Structure 1
C-alpha cells in the first residue's frame, strides 16, 4: 500500500506542478485560449497566478515533507487541501459550455487526493 500511495502522490504532484506552472508562467490571454481555460478570461491575473502558486505548493507538499521527514503529516493535509481546490475547479468548469470534460478530470484528481489522504491518515501513516 505504501508504494501505491507514493506512486499516486508522485502522479498527483506532477499534475499539480504542470498545471500550476502553466498558470504562473503563461499569460492570461494564452491560458484563456486553451481548451478548458475559458474561465481565465473572466479572472484577474493575480487570481490566476495565486492559483498557480497554490498548485505548485501542493506539488511540493505532496512529496517533500515525507522525503525530508520534516512534518510528514503535511502530505495528507495537502491532499485534503487539493480536494477542496478540485471542488472549486469542478464548480468553475461546469459554468462553461463543454466544461464537464474538465470537471471529470478534476474529479479524478480529487479521487487520487482522497486516496492519499485516507491512506496517509488511516492505512499507512508516516511514523
Structure 2
C-alpha cells in the first residue's frame, strides 16, 4: 500500500507542480491555452496556480523528508478541494470533458489523504 501511495503522491504532485507553475508564472500562455482563464482575473488565476504549487510540494516533501508528515494528507485534502471547485467551474461553463479529469484527480487526492492519515 505504501508503494501505491508513493506512486500516486509523486504523479499527482508533479502534475500539480506543472499545472500550478503554468498558472502562476506563465499567465499569458495559460490564458491562450485554457479558455476559462479569460473569464477570471489575473490575480485569481495566479492564486490558483500558487495553491496548486504548494499542494504539489505538500504531497511529496513533508512525507519524504519526515518533517511534519501530517502536512501530506492535509495537502491532499487541499488538492481535493481545488478539484471540487474546478469541477464546479467546469459544470458552470458546460465543459463536460474536463469534469472527468477533475473527478479522477479528486479520487487520487482522497486516496492519498485517507492512506496517509
Quickly name the TM-score band, shorter chain normalised.
Answer: over 0.9
Give the RMSD, CA atoms, in angstroms.
1.1
CA distance in 2, matches of 1:32, 1:92: 16
8 Å CA contact retained: 2:27, 2:46: no
CA distance in 1, matches of 2:68, 2:27: 35
Shift of 1:25: 2.0
The number of equivalent residue pairs is: 117
> Cα deviation per residue 1:39-97 (whole Å; 9 max; x = unaligned)?
21111101000100010001110010011111101111111111111000001112224
Runs (5+) with no aligned partner, structure 2: none
Specify the structure having the higher radius of gyration (Cα). Answer: 1
TM-score, with length taken from structure 2: 0.94
CA distance in 1, matches of 2:104, 2:91: 15
TM-score, with length taken from structure 1: 0.87
